[in-house]
Structures are given as C-alpha cells and as structure tokens.
Chains A and B, each alone.
Chain A
Amino acid sequence: MAAMARLDGEAAALTPEQVDAHLAVCDACRDAVASLTTLQTQLDGVDYEHLDTDLWPEVQRRVAQGMSRPGVRESRAIIGLAIVLGAWRLAQLLAGLPAPVINSLVPLVLIVVVLRQVIGDPFGIRVTPHQLQQEGTS
C-alpha cells in the first residue's frame, strides 16, 4: 500500500526511505511494484473515449415537457383531493349530515392542506431572490 501510494505521488504511512529499505530485501514487493509500474504506464496511455453528442436539445425538450405538466406527486395529491371531496359530498347526501358549518369547513380545510402541499403556502407572498436583489439596488 505504501509503495502504491508513493507511485501515485501520495503521502503514505511509511517514508520513502522505509519503502526503499523494504523493497531492497523483499522480492515479492519488488515484483508487485514493478508490475504496478507497468500497469500505470499502460493506463497512462489510455484516454477517454469522447462522445460528441449534443444533449441539450433533448434535455431542453424534456425539461419543458416536465414544466408544462404537473408532477406525479402533484397529480396524485389533486386526484386524492377530488376523491375525498366526492366521498364527503356523497356521505352528506346519503347520511343527511345536519351541521352546515362543518360541511363547509371540512372541504375548505382539505383544499388548503392540499394546495399547501402542491404549491406551498397559498396565502403567502413569494419574492424571488432576483426580486429581492432588485429591491436592494433600487
């Protein structure tokens, strides 16, 4: 390991003198270093296979596609909301729920909760960093 680190030009636990002293008496390590040096030389001759493909047109198309339609999570949240509201309304009709305040509040709370999940705080005022920067300079 120390000899490998040295060949890689990295600091190792042993000093170069200690590595040399060991290599002078150990045939196995000397052979290992020789074979590693050969491998390094072979690898130095290899370059990346460069591919000249312009990925931007396809990435741009898919980004635009992704932005124009809601994500899976958002779609599921909206479908879930529709199912719950439908079930709530059905329960109202079937059971004839008498409490009008609750009847109005439950769907409203559900809508707010789902909107909060999908688009963030529906009552919040959003300022982008760019707008903040403009405010600061003006």
Chain B
Amino acid sequence: MQDVDAVRRCRQGEVEAFGHLVHKYQRRALAHARALTGNAADAADVTQNAFLDAFRHLDRFDETREFYPWFYVLLRNRCFKQSARSKNATSTSDVVEAAEPTASSPEEMYDVRKALDRLDIADREIIVLKHLDGWTYDELAERLEIPRGTVMSRLFHARQRLKLLLSEPQRARR
C-alpha cells in the first residue's frame, strides 16, 4: 500500500490503514527520537504521541508531499517538549548512563554517542540529521524551515561544541 492510499483510507475512517504508516516508519522515528531525547523510554513515549498527533491531524497533510518529513515535524516538536520537561529532572549523567556501549561498539564510538547525548537538543538534531541520515543542507533547510545559511552556521557551531565535548573524554565518562 502506498502512503497516500493509507492516508486516504484513514481519512475515510479506516483506522487499520494507519497501522501501515506506523509499521513503516516506527523504526526510523524511534531512532530519531532516541537520538533527540537521549533515552529509549522517552523515545517510545514521544514517538507514540507523535503518531497520535499525526492521526488527529491527517486532514492537514498535503498528499502531494512525502509522509515522513511531515511526520518528522510533529515528532521533533514532541522531542523538544520532552527534552525541555526532563532538562531539570534528568541529570546529564543519567542520560550518559542510558547509552550503554554494545559489545561490538568500539570505545571511540561510545564516546561520540555519549558526547552527542550531552549536546543541546538543537545541536544534536542537526548533527544527527546530517551525519546519521545524510540530509543535505537544502533538505535540512526545507524540513527544519530555516535558511540554508542558518543550517551552515548551526552545523558549524554544533560541531564545534561536539569537538569540545570529545576533547574532554575523562569528563564524559564520569
């Protein structure tokens, strides 16, 4: 089933058709949410709520566009809200603890992940979308609704801050 068919069927009241969209995009959405929120439990909550937002607002979806970029805006709104809520409640060390290294992960990769989790959510988002998803400057500009020049400067500063965090590995491991 094509996404647009699923959306049309949902609009006609076929709730089951929404399952197609959830199953197709949940893994990607959970990965994005995990990267943005910094922990798996919050990622599952915000992704679930973002899918509910999407279902409620399907009438606003433009069928000529792709589903995921539209859904991503809802997801990132949820992630930013969750991040703001848990900013004071969760200490940095809790977030770092949540990202345990896997047996196959080299130490360096673990350090990078930990450093990413310690970044501000806006910095983390742009780095994740650029490096892990491979979005181009133009795609980032369009989907984050910011000018291309802003994408470049935000990416530049986010990388500077990430480099700074990576240069303090002993602090990150604490």
Contact = CB atoms under 8 A, between A and B. Distances in A.
Interface in A35-78: 35-36, 39-40, 42-56, 58-60, 62-64, 66-67
A45 B131 CA distance: 10
A27 interface: no
B15 A42 contact: no
A58 B55 CA distance: 13
A105 to B, nearest CB: 34
Contacts of B15: 60, 63-64, 67
Given A55-B22, A129-B8, A129-B12, A48 B31 contact: yes
A45 B108 contact: yes
Contacts of B131: 40, 43-44, 46
A59 B109 CA distance: 33
By size class, the interface of chain A is: 35 or more
Contacts of B43: 51
A41 to B, nearest CB: 10
B146 to A, nearest CB: 15
A46 B55 CA distance: 32
Nearest to B22: A56
Contact of B40 (A4, A44, A51, A58): A51
B34 A51 contact: yes
A58 B106 CA distance: 35
A43 B23 CA distance: 28
B19 to A, nearest CB: 5
Interface in B65-101: 99
Contacts of A62: 48, 52
B163 A39 contact: yes
B113 A46 contact: yes
B121 interface: no
Contacts of B30: 50-51, 53, 55
A135 interface: no
A89 to B, nearest CB: 36
Contacts of A59: 18, 22, 48, 51-52, 55
A4 B155 CA distance: 9
Closest 7 CB pairs of A and B: A48-B31, A43-B131, A51-B30, A56-B22, A59-B51, A130-B12, A10-B137
23 contacts: A5-B152, A8-B130, A35-B163, A36-B159, A39-B163, A39-B166, A42-B166, A46-B109, A47-B132, A50-B27, A50-B31, A51-B27, A51-B31, A51-B43, A51-B44, A53-B26, A53-B44, A55-B22, A55-B44, A55-B47, A56-B19, A58-B48, A60-B15
